[in-house]
Amino acid sequence: MKQEEVYEQVKERLMSYARIDTQSAEYTGHWPTTEKQKDLARVLKDELISIGVSDVFLDEEGCVVYGKVPSNVQDTQVMPIGFIAHIDTAPDASGTNVKPWVLENYDGGDIVLNKEKNIVMKASDYSNLKMYIGQDLILTDGTTLLGGDDKASIAAIMSFAQYLVDHGDVKHGDICIAFTPDEEVGGLARDLDFDRFGAKVAYTLDGDHLGWYEDETFNASEAVFEFTGRSVHTGTAKGIMVNAVDMAAELMAMLPKKEKPQYTEGVEGFYHLISCESDCEHARVRLLVRDFDHDNFKKREEFLKECAEKLGADYGDDRVKLTIIHQYSNMKEVLKDVPFMIDILKGAIRKAGIEPVCEPFRGGTDGAALSFRGLPCPNLSAGYENAHGRFEYVPIQSMVKNVEILLNICESALAIADNA
């Protein structure tokens, strides 16, 4: 692969996609959670058609884009391989009026993102910057996120597909492509149609740090406590008032102090308080429950049930309601049965001149849900940095390398028969 051929493609694609606001939203009650995600979906559909990808289809209702680069291997049946990236950007920072720009040949110093507003990304605050000295960085003006999560992956997959179409001498089986909405708010590729997609195994591209991959995620659920109180004038409250704020406060005091995200790392699980809305009459507390180990995860959920029972005994069972909503499971349970996928991924990263790094992912990916739905799906990093914030950036060279890694995956996958 000639890197200079791909460099301009990934650069222009990311900058173009970044300008399209695709921010998703929590708790809208419908999917996709925002209609504006369809703006990019339509662009991607048209672009796939223009570069010669076949079987292009946009599910307008579900906001899923499909495409395929058909196999050019005639003498054997090669297992179809899929690649998936998400369209939406996170609600954590604005995705409106994104102004991407390129800093060439980064020198290792502080980066002035916005001179007028005195927004500076200090090298001392972001230690990973030193890894990209001499490279070219796509940044914002410091007022919005960039959207490299996950548009850097879309740019790489698109450029990879174009490379296959333009270079018929590169042998490959069916390459199946999908772009999905709402990953950032737990969409979990819910509307991905496996039959239309066509792959039996796939890789998501989503994550920071070039050359990193994940084959293990948290087990995850959300716990919602609702407390019903009784309000009365404080002057006559004795024996009558039941304060829902007190119940919420007692619950939060029950949680293990050091088992929170800010105190944990590696494979340590946690409880994470998302929100607490309360007054005397009603309180609602939302928690995330996370653990890599299935048994420990279940113990965490049981602990919350015990908390609810204790509060119910003190205040009345009818005043305490707990709902636990399962979100996703540790994809390691599925991926351990398809070790060839990890072998292919590690080999592809090494062939690109990068030492692969695998750490348990302290989060979730669409691949976790897809794996349990029957599509084994480890995750390859997109190579962005500082996602979900105003100091996000993407080294262009990382996207170029990801195109190379995808080509290497194709080459290795030729050895995997369709009946594997």
Q: Which residues are catalytic?
A: 88, 183
Pairing of strands 137-139, 101-103: antiparallel
Within 10 A of 350 (CB to CB), how many other CB atoms are there?
14
Within 10 A of 37 (CB to CB), how many other CB atoms are there?
26
Q: Which residues of 376-394 are buried (b: 16+ CB within 10 A; e: fewer)?
A: bbbbbbbbbbbbbebbbbb
Do residues 278 and 245 lie in contact, with contact meaning Cβ atoms separated by under 8 Å?
A: yes
d(C-alpha 413, C-alpha 199), whole Å: 12
Burial class (CB in 10 A: 0-12, 13-18, 19+), 277: exposed
